Amino acid sequence: MVKLPSLKPKQIEKILLKNGFLIKRQTESHRIYYNKTLDKIVIVPFHSKDIPLGTLRSIIRQSDLAIDLFVKGK
């Protein structure tokens, strides 16, 4: 199993945007991204702190992207 780094929301956003996701909308402190090709929706809490590892795993699952993209994203 790959050890995930701690990432800030800006880093996650950069990875998602590079891989075809677009910002659909923002509600309060959460941004909703949509990928039309994959037909996937990903919700990212947008705060100044690092994203907890459990939340990061959930974002990876929702996005259906490879874990390696997020490991290299740091």
Instruction: Report yes or no on whether pTM surpasses 0.85.
Output: yes
Question: Residue 13 belongs to what domain range?
Answer: 9-72
Tell whether 14 is covered by a domain: yes
> Is residue 12 pLDDT above 90, yes or no?
yes
> Is residue 74 pLDDT above 60, yes or no?
no
Tell whether 3 is covered by a domain: no
Tell whether 1 is covered by a domain: no
Please give the Cα distance from 53 to 22 (Å, whole number): 23
Mean pLDDT of 43-65: 94
Nearest to 13 by CA among 57, 53, 45, 49: 45
- Residue 67: which CATH number? 3.30.920.30
Mean pLDDT of 4-12: 93
What's the domain count of the chain? Answer: 1
Per DSSP, the three-state class of 43 is strand
Mean pLDDT of 30-57: 95
pLDDT of residue 1: 66
Tell whether 4 is covered by a domain: no
